[in-house]
Structure 1
Amino acid sequence: MSWIDLNADLGEGFGAWRLGDDDALLDVVTSANVACGFHAGDPSTMHRVCRTAVAKGVAIGAQVGYRDLAGFGRRRIDYDHDELRDDILYQIGALEAFCRAAGDRVRYVKPHGALYNTAAVDPGQASAVVDAVLAYDPALPVLCQPGSELAGQALHRGLTVVGEGFADRGYLPDGRLVPRSRPDALVHEPDQVVQRAVRMAADGSVTAVDGSAVPCPVRSICLHGDTPGAVELARVVRDGLRAAGLEVRPFAVALA
């Protein structure tokens, strides 16, 4: 593959509280997963991030999550299917308003946190995500883990699926992410993060925590913006990908 997308979760502050350096990350990433107010974010934050993203040519995606501000969307919630579908639909529509005010539109959908992990294995929650995207705009891609339940359902029902890899997260031998409760959940060494990003982009695989090679065909690599040194790490990863001969560009534009 000659190109790769870099994405980050942005707009995850709330009110007077800021989380991460959104503006600095928007100078590095090519896609912004913007929190839509349920697990994080608020109208003013959404407006600010969308306006800055458009000005910098960064594609905007709806980072949809559980209605869980207190838990930052990292606690699983057993939703009724229709309620979860409608919560996701509501979040996409809210972000669309600020995208339009900034002169653009929502380009894709990505679940956040516990919803991301649950929809990867749970048919009911995966179908709620798919139903929400189909109801809003069947042309919207879904950014998710390759080989997941969500990816399978989305493909089966005609949606575009964009495989996502995590250069700074540990992987289990079965391809799932290492739970954040474990000490090996995050990869901190910059050189190792860069090597993992290049391998995912160029070879479609990643090394699991037991040393085995795990298939990981991706079009986008996520870097977390809420960890110490996130901005500099993102810059190093972007430079490493370019040095490997890969163009860094928004997948929403490349696949259009």
Structure 2
Amino acid sequence: MKTFLSMIGILTLAQWLFIGLLHVFLVAQDKRSPETLNKLHDMPVVGGYFPAVPVATPEDQQREEAEKNLLQILEAKKYFELPAAFSAEELSELIQQIRSQKDDLETQAQEISQRREEIQQLAEDYDRREKELLARQSALEKRASSLQKTEEELALKRSIVEDSADAIETSNLKKVATWMNGLPPEKAAQLIVPDSVRGEGAEARLQRYRDAAKLLSLMDAEAVSKVIAHIDPLDWLEIEKEKRKLPLKKK
């Protein structure tokens, strides 16, 4: 008896194991369709472990599809429902608001257009003024170039005139120096620095010393040494200062 019960227990466990593995297989293979489950339900012994699943007939499928389409139509209808009709006052107010907004937009458009024209005018004025400034700058540059050229020409002419004047002065001084070389030292000294030099103004006296320095630098050294002896030491000191300022000793 004990052996019989053990056999029954083993068979029961084997049956449960088989049913479990079969469920796992169906899930893994994705074969739990109503048709498959119904076939297993009809099998003896193991059928009780697989409940019957109702299978939809073609009519049921058509009816289900029709219900689904109807629900979709009802859902879509919500998006096309028109609002409730406006009253005359509401329509009048709405029209007034639309007109007011239209007027505001037209006013803004006019202001923008006017502002655009002003900006365009400013841009044109700026371009015109820039061209005028560039033209004036070009004219000033030409004028500056012309003035510089004129200045250079004047400087050259001044240099030529000064050189000519210096040459004439030097030539005349040489003639006077030659004449002074033949005069007695006392007379030559009196002509170079007369006694009246003390009564002259500072500028005239300075010019007298400059002329004396130039003249003495062109005279013979022997004659100069004799003339110096008859010139007041204070006057000779001033003459010597002017001689040092001469750029070049000429004879």
Structure with max Cα Rg? 2
Q: TM tier, shorter chain?
A: under 0.3
Q: Greater helix percent: which structure?
A: 2
- The structure whose RCO (Cα within 8 Å, separation 6+) is larger is 1
State the TM-score, normalized to the length of structure 1: 0.23
